[in-house]
Amino acid sequence: MGEVDSAFIQNPENRPKLSIIQAKGIPVINLSPIIHHTAQDSSAIESLVKEIASACKEWGFFQVTNHGVPLNLRLRLEEATKVFFAQSLEEKKLIIDDNGFPGYHDTEHTKNVRDWKEVFDFLSKDPTLVPLNSDENDDGVTQWTNPSPQYPPHFKVIIEEYIEEMENLGFKLLELIALSLGVEAKRFEEFYIKNQTSFLRLNHYPPCPYPHLALGVGPHKDSGVLTILAQDEVGGLEVKRKTDQQWILVKPTPDAYIINVGDIIQIWSNDAYESVEHRAKVNTEKERFSIPFFFNPGYDTEVKPLEELINEQNPSKYRPYKWGKFLVHRKDSNFKKQDVENLQIYHFKLP
């Protein structure tokens, strides 16, 4: 190729900042001090905790390497996911629950705009007892039950094995986050004892002829505790940088996981760590796959700032809410276009 015609070259101040943005992307944190050492080195852990604290404060997002999740298992799940989504729509629709959750669905909306994607959701604890709907006055209950896909073979077993790894990693990350907030390492475990509502989502973003008009997932914040995301080499996840509100592309890093703190950590930490907005772009040529694990507490959890972090100088910023009700409300509203804005945590913010 010859040199670029100078007629195409913008003045420096007008050049797209893409490469700079990618180079200064979200922090990458090496977890080997807590994964690979039997006699844990306390100074290495201390510096890890500091890295976590600053990543949570500055970005709300980070990537982890040396996380202990076997690469081979991830590859098997990614392969099975491709085979699953390559089936016809009719075949995929066979494994849909009445409520559209868990199971296969392709009509999810983020803030009332339909996402350019199809998904398969699978609960980590099954079945989960939930109210019939989010109406406060209705005491009826129903169950969320995982589907049993028959194809590809061993799909369910692979998913279950992978979820176990996600939970292990999730608990380790929660310990680091607890320490970084100055509370007991195991502080958050009590919220996971009963009726855990975590789920794994397999995302397929087909190629899209309108990448300037549609999004794979519209801008949103994750409502749970932590999200542990595996994205493929295509990329498309963008994170809103806190310092200047710019959308920053998260460069795919093989075998790394992308972690973000959700709304519940924002509340537990009384706004010390904020849940950050993100979205997923689509592109015209390539399909993209991503696999988030939403690490969520028990259905009955009352979400409110940790008592240890509250005092006269730093009073609680939120009134308590019931996580389960919130989740059901979100699920109800995500499957249809609604006139009302869906439930957000600022609705619980104290004046």
Q: Distances from the Cα of 21 to the Cαs of 17, 26, 249, in angstroms? A: 6, 10, 7
Per CB under 6 A, 197 contacts ligand OGA: no
Residue choice 146, 196, 197, 203 for contact with ligand OGA (CB under 6 A): 203
Residue choice 264, 278, 303, 332 for contact with ligand OGA (CB under 6 A): 278
Q: How far is the CB of 227 from Ni ion (least distance, A)?
A: 6
Site for ligand OGA in 124-163 (CB under 6 A): none
Per CB under 6 A, 123 contacts ligand OGA: no
Per CB under 5 A, 232 contacts Ni ion: no
Q: How far is the CB of 278 from Ni ion (least distance, A)?
A: 6
Per CB under 5 A, 222 contacts Ni ion: yes
Q: How far is the CB of 282 from ligand OGA (least distance, A)?
A: 10
Q: Which does 60 bind (CB under 5 to 8 A by kind): ligand OGA, Ni ion, none?
A: none
Q: How far is the CB of 195 from ligand OGA (least distance, A)?
A: 22
Per CB under 6 A, 202 contacts ligand OGA: no
CB-nearer residue toward Ni ion: 269 or 275: 275
Residue choice 134, 197, 270, 290 for contact with ligand OGA (CB under 6 A): 290
Per CB under 6 A, 237 contacts ligand OGA: yes
CB-nearer residue toward ligand OGA: 80 or 237: 237
Q: How far is the CB of 184 from ligand OGA (least distance, A)?
A: 29
Q: How far is the CB of 152 from ligand OGA (least distance, A)?
A: 21
104 phi, psi to nearest 5 deg: -90, 140
Binding site for Ni ion (CB under 5 A): 222
Binding site for ligand OGA (CB under 6 A): 201, 203, 217, 222, 231, 237, 278, 280, 290, 292
